[in-house]
Amino acid sequence: DAGITQSPRHKVTETGTPVTLRCHQTENHRYMYWYRQDPGHGLRLIHYSYGVKDTDKGEVSDGYSVSRSKTEDFLLTLESATSSQTSVYFCAITSAGATDTQYFGPGTRLTVL
Amino acid sequence: KQEVTQIPAALSVPEGENLVLNCSFTDSAIYNLQWFRQDPGKGLTSLLLIQSSQREQTSGRLNASLDKSSGRSTLYIAASQPGDSATYLCAAFNNAGNMLTFGGGTRLMVKP
């Protein structure tokens, strides 16, 4: 594995509450990504980062924000969780350039009631 | 918008069989094509990456090919084993180099 951890691994929350998921990497990789995985939709990119304080939107960014104040941490925030955000969230990094092989974390299963 | 399709969605084969998984993409302007494996409840594991200028890549019993002009990639698994049972996903990296678009995956079961 590429030294990627995600926390929490499981979370149950209620509609309307804020939620923050953390992705932590130990190897100083520049590029980091947040995906969600849903049955029938596969994996879809939410946001990505190409450096500290440098982030951009992916395919399904509405309702999500991200922050990267340190190289090793990429945070995904749901400002006001909705049931449609129930999903499995994966963080990924690339080991070299932006288009290199992506390595994935173990995932966070989020349930919004 | 890039769309990636994998057929079949599920496949069951007896141990020892050689098999081919298919991946098609609608926009041939890709930077590379990546194949991943996902075990139940786990993250994705990278298997192979084929650059747009390459035709194929091999790793052990796995061989992936790429035909950009027809918008297709295949993953060939030789002498399948029960341990190969997993979901296999392909993903196309766009030319802008900022987005990987995934297919829905093929769920493979190799029976002993």
pLDDT at A109 over 80: yes
The pLDDT value given to residue A99: 76
Asked if residue B74 lies in contact with residue B23, where contact means CB atoms within 8 angstroms, the answer is: yes
Longest Cα separation, chain A: 39
With contacts defined as CB-CB under 8 Å, which chain A residues touch B45?
104
For residue B88, the chain A residue with the least C-alpha distance is A42
Q: Give the residue from A5, A35, A36, A43 with the most B CB atoms within 10 Å of its CB, the best one to mutate.
A: A43
Task: Kindly give the parts of chain B with pLDDT less than 70.
Answer: none
- From residue A26, alpha-carbon distances to A4, A51, A74, A87 in Å are 7, 15, 12, 25
Partner-chain contact B46 A56, CB within 8 Å: no
Cα separation, B72 vs B56, whole angstroms: 12
The pLDDT value given to residue B98: 77
What rounded mean pLDDT belongs to chain B? 94
With contacts defined as CB-CB under 8 Å, which chain A residues touch B103?
42
DSSP 8-state secondary structure symbol assigned to residue B103: P
pLDDT digits (tens, 9 = 90+) for A20-55: 999 999 988 999 999 999 988 889 999 999 999 999
- From residue B82, alpha-carbon distances to A44, A86, B21, B76, B85 in Å are 29, 32, 16, 16, 6
Amino acid letter, B74: T
